[in-house]
Structure formats: C-alpha cells, structure tokens
Amino acid sequence: MSHTAWGRVLAVLSFIATSIVALPASAQWKPTRDVEFVIPFAVGGGADLLARVIHKIIVEEKLVPVPVALVNKPGGGGAVGVGYVTGSRRADPHTLVLVNGSVQITPILNPQVRTLSEIQPVMNTMLDDFVFFVKADSPWKNMADFVKDAKSKPAKTYAFATGGTTDVMAVTVLGKSTGTELNTINFNSGGEALTALLGGHVHGTLGNPLEFMGHLNQKAVRAIGVFRDNRFALLSDVPTVKEQGINAPNFQMWRGIGIPKGAPADAAKYWEGIMQKVVATPAFKAYLKDNAASEAPIAGAQFEAFLANQEKLYRELLGK
C-alpha cells in the first residue's frame, strides 16, 4: 500500500473513531413525542398550582421540543395518580409526575398503598411551611384564643379541613402540641380545604401560603400562627406558634418532580436539566416570593438522601 493510500485509510479510521467517541453525546435521551405531566391531586391545590407554573415556564421558554399536557388524577393522597402512572405510563420517560410530602406520608399511614416507591425522584424545587388559617370572622385572633377555646370544649368539637396527608400530620402535630383533640375533615386538595373554610363548614385549616395568599390578601381568611422558627418576611404581622408559647416541631412540605420508576437514567438527567432551567427563571423566583415559599433545588442522589431524612422525620412525628 502506498504512503498516500495508507494516509487515506488512517484518515477514515480517525473519522470513524471520532464519530464513535462523539456518539453518546449525540445519542443522549430527549423527548420525541408528547409528554404527560401527571398531577396526583385535584385542581386548585398547592401541587396543582406549582405544576401549572412549571408547565407555563416550560412552554413559554420553549424548554422542550414537544407538547406537554397537564393531567390531574386526584385521590387517595396521591395513590390514584401514581396508580395511573404505574398502570398506563410505567417506565415511560415521556411522563412527569408532581410529587410532594403527601405521596411520602400516605404509605406510612397505609402500608398497603404504594406511591413514592413507584416514582424515580428527579428534583425538588421548593419548600412550604405550614400556617394556621381561620375564616376572617373567626373569634380566634391568636393561638391563645384557639387553645383556651378548644380545651374548654369536648374533644373533636372543632373541625379542621385537610387537603392531603401532610395536612393531616400538621393537624396532628397541632393537637399534640396544644393538648387538644381535633376533628379532621379530609379533602382531595388544599383548594377544596380552602373552599370548606370559606363556606364555614370547618373552623380552621393548616395549609401552605401558596394555597391561601389570594384570599389572605383579600382578607377573606386570617393567619394566626406560623409553624417555623421565624416569621415570614411577606407575612411579618403573623407570629410563629413558638412566639405564642407553643412548642410545635417544624416540618415542611417539599415539592418536586419525578418520572416513572424504570425509565432510563439519561431521561432522568434530561428532566433534571430542564428543571434546573425552570427554577432559575425570574418567573419561578417571583412565584416563590409572592407565595412565601423557599427555593430548594435538590437533585439526583441528594434528593433521594433528602427524602430518606424526610421519611425518618415523618415517622418520628407520627410516633409522637
């Protein structure tokens, strides 16, 4: 073989080698058909509101090359929606799932139910604290009013609306911290719990600010206590429960995104990258600020470690 011919062979081999090395980068997963964004909760609750903000940012910023459709599948503390995913979208990377503390607490309360174990966590986005809300015309102006009144009545006199299993835990923590026994009325979402409160069907509710800010600003509801160590900057006139002499433990609602268990690992990395872009947008940061929420982007293995610690905390709180 001549020197010239041999040079051509080497050039071809070099091109092939370069192409092979470059192949994995060009073959990384990306969606090729419509994506379903499953919300395992009802319209109007905190999970639904967050999902719609994320969806709006993805669409307006053109972050993915295919349409993304929102699908609400409420019921069973997230069990119905996750059941839909495992039954119809198993291992499908063209599926996003809104996950939060409720889907983690539900199987703790009912071991027969499978929720978070069927989802591959991708990224947490934010944390929500709990606030004690009453209707604007409630006689309870502060925590002392509530405790005095509740202790003077038979157990379970006062009904509290809950929009998920995390809210149920919040009411349980409130009762144990104040020495009162409360009646929980369960709904599918924070939006339904808010409706029950506004309608006068319950006496109070413990929820996250993002579900109540509109009605709080309109003075349709009143906040009388915050379950955190310091006051919200946005709600500086609302004292913490600790300021009011109640030693209630802190816990928060985490809110994140997952995909069906068994989906390819590179799909999880793709969606993690998309969510990193979402939480970095001014629109998302404004949403957090307007709703007194905390930015908390936690991804991949760190998210899984975070969830393990959260489950330990939830079990400890329920044990108490």
Can you list the domains of the chain with their CATH numbers?
36-128+254-319 (3.40.190.150), 130-227 (3.40.190.10)
For residue 56, what pLDDT is reported? 98
Confidence of residue 21 (pLDDT cuts 50, 70, 90): very low
Confidence of residue 25 (pLDDT cuts 50, 70, 90): very low
Say how many CA atoms lie within 13 Å of 61 toward its Cβ.
Answer: 19
pTM of the predicted protein model: 0.84
The overall average pLDDT reported for the chain is 90
For residue 316, what pLDDT is reported? 85
For residue 189, what pLDDT is reported? 84
Confidence of residue 262 (pLDDT cuts 50, 70, 90): very high
- Weakest mean pLDDT among 25-39, 170-184, 196-210, 252-266: 25-39
Mean pLDDT of 4-21: 46
Residue 30 sits at the vertex; the CA angle it makes with 93 and 299, to the nearest 5 degrees, is 65
Residues 80-138: pLDDT tens digits?
Answer: 999 999 999 999 999 999 999 999 999 998 999 999 999 999 999 999 999 999 999 99
| Tokens found for residue 213 | 């800010």
Residues 292-320: pLDDT tens digits?
Answer: 999 999 999 999 999 999 999 888 887 75
pLDDT at 9 over 60: no
